[in-house]
Amino acid sequence: MRTKCLTQATVVLALFSLSAASPASAQERVGFTLIGALDLAGQDPRRCLSLDLDGDGDLDLICTAGGDDQGSEVNVLLGDGSGNFPVRQALVGGARPWGVAAGDFDSDGIPDLVVTQASQILVNPDPLCGVSAGLPVFHGRGDGGFDFLSCLHAGVAPVAVVAEHIDGDSHLDLVAAASGGGGLSTFLGNGDGTFSPPIAVSGATQVSARDLAAADLDGDGDMDLVVAHAGGCRVLRGAGDATFSYAGEVGPMEASDAVALGDVTGDGLTDIVTAYAGSGRVGLASALGGGAFASARTFDAGFETSDVALGDVNGDGLIDVAASASSTVVVLLSSGGGDLRPAKAWPVHPHAAAVVVADFDGDSWNDLAIASRNIDQPTLDVFKNDALPGPWQHVPGGVPGPVLTFDLPSTAGIRPTYRVRNALPGVIGVAVVGTQRFDRPLLGNFLIPLPEILVSGLETDATGSMVLPDVVSCHLPLGLTFWLQVWLPDPSSPYGWVATNGLSGTVSTGKKTSRP
235-285 pLDDT tens trace: 999 999 999 999 999 988 889 999 999 999 988 999 999 999 888 999 999
Give dist(CA 83, CA 89) in Å, integer: 17
Give dist(CA 159, CA 220) in Å, integer: 28
Higher-pLDDT residue of 286 and 12 is 286
Q: Which CATH architecture has domain 403-507?
A: Sandwich (2.60)
Q: Is the peptide bond before 252 cis (omega within 30 degrees of 0)?
A: yes
What was the pLDDT predicted at 413?
A: 54
As a whole number, the mean pLDDT across the chain is 85
11-68 pLDDT tens trace: 222 222 222 223 334 445 688 999 999 999 988 899 999 999 999 999 999 999 976 6
505 pLDDT more than 60? yes
Give dist(CA 375, CA 381) in Å, integer: 15
84-107 pLDDT tens trace: 999 999 998 888 899 999 999 999
What number of other Cβ atoms are within 10 A of residue 479's Cβ?
A: 11
Output the CA–CA distances (angstroms, integers) from residue 231 to 116, 250, 333, in the order listed: 21, 10, 27
**Residue 494's pLDDT band (boundaries 50, 70, 90)?**
confident
Percent of the chain at pLDDT > 70 equals 87
Higher-pLDDT residue of 365 and 406 is 365
**Residue among 482, 473, 393 nearest 435 (CA):** 482
497-499 vs 32-39, strand pairing mode: unpaired
Percent of the chain at pLDDT > 90 equals 55
What was the pLDDT predicted at 5?
A: 40
Longest dimension (CA), the chain: 83
Which has the minimum average pLDDT: 127-141, 231-245, 320-334, 487-501? 487-501
Give dist(CA 145, CA 63) in Å, integer: 14
185-205 pLDDT tens trace: 999 999 999 999 999 998 887
What was the pLDDT predicted at 446?
A: 78
- Per DSSP, the three-state class of 273 is strand
Q: ∠ at Cα 87 (162, 163), nearest 5°?
A: 10
Residue-wise DSSP of 24-47 = S-TTT---EEEEEEEE-SSS-EEE
* Domains in the chain: boundaries: 28-385, 403-507
| Neighbouring C-alpha atoms within 13 Å toward the C-beta of 427 | 22
From the candidate CATH numbers 2.170.130.30, 3.40.50.2300, 3.40.190.10, 2.130.10.10, the one assigned to the domain spanning 28-385: 2.130.10.10
**Residue among 125, 104, 237 nearest 173 (CA):** 104
Higher-pLDDT residue of 492 and 299 is 299
Give dist(CA 322, CA 357) in Å, integer: 7
Give strand ranges (E) for 112-195. Answer: 112-117, 135-140, 146-152, 158-164, 173-178, 184-187
3 pLDDT more than 80? no
* pTM, rounded to two decimals: 0.74
What was the pLDDT predicted at 395?
A: 55
**Pair 458, 466: CB distance under 8 Å:** yes
Higher-pLDDT residue of 120 and 457 is 457
What number of other Cβ atoms are within 10 A of residue 480's Cβ?
A: 14
**Pair 322, 329: CB distance under 8 Å:** yes
What was the pLDDT predicted at 508?
A: 53
429 pLDDT more than 50? yes
Q: Which residues contact 149 (CB under 8 A, 6 or more apart)?
A: 112, 137, 138, 139, 193
State in Å, rounded, how far the first CA of the chain is from the last one.
23
Give dist(CA 80, CA 77) in Å, integer: 10
> What is the chain's alpha carbon radius of gyration, rounded to the nearest angstrom?
24
Output the CA–CA distances (angstroms, integers) from residue 164 to 130, 139, 174, 189, 488, in the order listed: 26, 17, 6, 10, 32
Output the CA–CA distances (angstroms, integers) from residue 304 to 72, 279, 325, 327, in the order listed: 23, 7, 5, 9
376-416 pLDDT tens trace: 789 999 999 986 544 445 455 444 578 888 776 545 556 67
- Per DSSP, the three-state class of 120 is coil
Give dist(CA 40, CA 457) in Å, integer: 56
What was the pLDDT predicted at 70?
A: 56
**Pair 182, 156: CB distance under 8 Å:** yes
**Pair 218, 196: CB distance under 8 Å:** no
Q: ∠ at Cα 17 (15, 22), nearest 5°?
A: 170
